[in-house]
Structure 1
Amino acid sequence: MGRICGCAWVALALLAAARLSPGAPGAEEQKFFVEFEAGPAWQARNDVRIPNSDAGTKFSLRDLQGTGPFAAPRVTIFVKLAPKHEIGFLAAPLSIKAAGSLDRPVEFAGASFPEGPGVEAVYRFNSYRATYRYRVWQGERWTWKLGVTGKIRDARIELRSGDTVAVDDNLGFVPLVHLDGVCRLGERWRLDVNADGLGAPQGRAIDLALKARYEFSPNWSASAGYRMLEGGADVDKVYTFAWVHYAVAGIRFGF
């Protein structure tokens, strides 16, 4: 955790240094926007071991639940405080519930599950974030913003088979580095690059998106592209690592 916080302070130092970066005079941006995004998500990896010791069995939630697709909506709001300063808020729920078969006996969260079918699994990974970002560069084509994000992670893994139920809940705070880039491809077309992420010896978290966006009017635009969510933790209590791919489409309103 100390190393994670240290990386966050490095990001703040970069923000302070960014005041020296050039900007294009007279450039106009929206003071507010809200974006709704949704699309199917697929699990490429979802490995679990709780507890992370001989008392727990490592198994694959992806193999138990299937790869998908699963519904994955999110909503993002950003407000401009000053010409180069913005704050934003995001809600990105992800909940997967499906039944399948275990290929071997599993010890999970203090309960024993036999090999075989009829095991229901719930994987929840809801993300709520607040972001501050600063515009570090604005040129003819590219605009770049750098910031810091505070993320509340609301996670839950549940296995159920007959009368046997085991649950592991995890609610925690994660600091992340934020990066946002927009490339002007033409009069109305934009390429959006957006990421929140940070890594440490105990684990990592990466949320990365690449989307093409078309501006219908000064207020409305629509986008489509690819998003990935990857990360997890390897600590004494838990081992969890997931990799989820998204095909996303969104609609944005701003002024």
Structure 2
Amino acid sequence: MKAMFVLLMLLMITNPATSGAQWQLDIESGLVLAGYNDVRIPGDTGTLLSLSEELEINPSSFFRLRLQYSLGERHTVGVLIAPLRLEAKGTIDRQVTFQDQEYAANTQLDSRYRFDSYRLTYRYDFFRSDDLQLGLGPTAKV
């Protein structure tokens, strides 16, 4: 992932300036609340447990960064970085099997939920007007 990001940045920086070339940076942040979050590992023999209903998950902050570079009038390349992590803690009044380990009832459980998203995008704008821009292209989740 880091190598692809560095390569993309080098391509953007070393690309000769063209008409309409520009950088765009979007940064989002907010509060994430856990809703439905059930897990079972392994899926066929582990204990099904709800991180959000059987354990306590405190709200957490998140951020999302999108960096895009327009190459002329119709071509855009970009990268999205969106890490997401939550921690759940508590006890469950039954035995739990998780990743082939047994935990007795009422044992303190600490879990970490991680769902990071990194994406590389290329977009070709096939229609542009003052009010509307339409484009199409691939996105790779890396």
Q: Normalised by the shorter chain, which TM-score bucket? A: 0.7 to 0.9
The answer to whether 1:38 aligns with 2:29 is: yes
Show structure 2 runs of 5+ residues with no match: 1-18
Matched residue, 2:125: 135
Equivalent residue for 1:63, pick from 48, 53, 73 = 53
Helix, strand or coil at the partner of 2:53: helix
Question: How far apart in 2 are the matches of 1:106 and 1:143?
Answer: 52
Q: Deviations over 1:105-164 (max 9, x none)?
A: 221111112232521111111111111112233345332332221112xxxxxxxxxxxx
Which stretches of structure 1, 4 residues or longer, exceed 6 Å deviation after superposition?
none
Is the contact made by 2:52 and 2:88 (CA closer than 8 Å) also made in structure 1? Answer: no
For the structure 1 residues 40 and 65, does the alpha-carbon distance in structure 2 shift closer, same or farther, using more than 3 Å as the test? farther
Q: Percentage identity across aligned positions?
A: 33
Show structure 1 runs of 5+ residues with no match: 1-27, 153-255
Q: Deviations over 1:155-181 (max 9, x none)?
A: xxxxxxxxxxxxxxxxxxxxxxxxxxx
Q: Deviations over 1:188-233 (max 9, x none)?
A: xxxxxxxxxxxxxxxxxxxxxxxxxxxxxxxxxxxxxxxxxxxxxx
Shift of 1:72: 0.7
Matched residue, 1:91: 81
Equivalent residue for 1:112, pick from 102, 124, 135 = 102
For the structure 1 residues 82 and 100, does the alpha-carbon distance in structure 2 shift closer, same or farther, using more than 3 Å as the test? same
Question: How far apart in 2 are the matches of 1:137 and 1:30?
Answer: 17
Is the contact made by 1:39 and 1:73 (CA closer than 8 Å) also made in structure 2? Answer: yes
TM-score by length of 2: 0.74
Matched residue, 2:5: none
TM-score by length of 1: 0.44
For the structure 1 residues 40 and 58, does the alpha-carbon distance in structure 2 shift closer, same or farther, using more than 3 Å as the test? same
For the structure 1 residues 148 and 111, does the alpha-carbon distance in structure 2 shift closer, same or farther, using more than 3 Å as the test? same
Is the contact made by 2:58 and 2:87 (CA closer than 8 Å) also made in structure 1? Answer: no
Matched residue, 1:125: 115
Question: How far apart in 2 are the matches of 1:29 and 1:116?
Answer: 62
1:119 counterpart letter in structure 2: L
Which entry has the higher C-alpha Rg, 1 or 2?
2
Shift of 1:39: 0.4
For the structure 1 residues 132 and 99, does the alpha-carbon distance in structure 2 shift closer, same or farther, using more than 3 Å as the test? same
CA RMSD of aligned residues (A): 2.3
Helix, strand or coil at the partner of 1:80: strand
Larger strand share, 1 or 2:
1
For the structure 1 residues 138 and 67, does the alpha-carbon distance in structure 2 shift closer, same or farther, using more than 3 Å as the test? farther
Is the contact made by 1:51 and 1:109 (CA closer than 8 Å) also made in structure 2? Answer: yes
Is the contact made by 2:57 and 2:88 (CA closer than 8 Å) also made in structure 1? Answer: no
Question: How far apart in 1 are the matches of 2:57 and 2:125?
Answer: 38
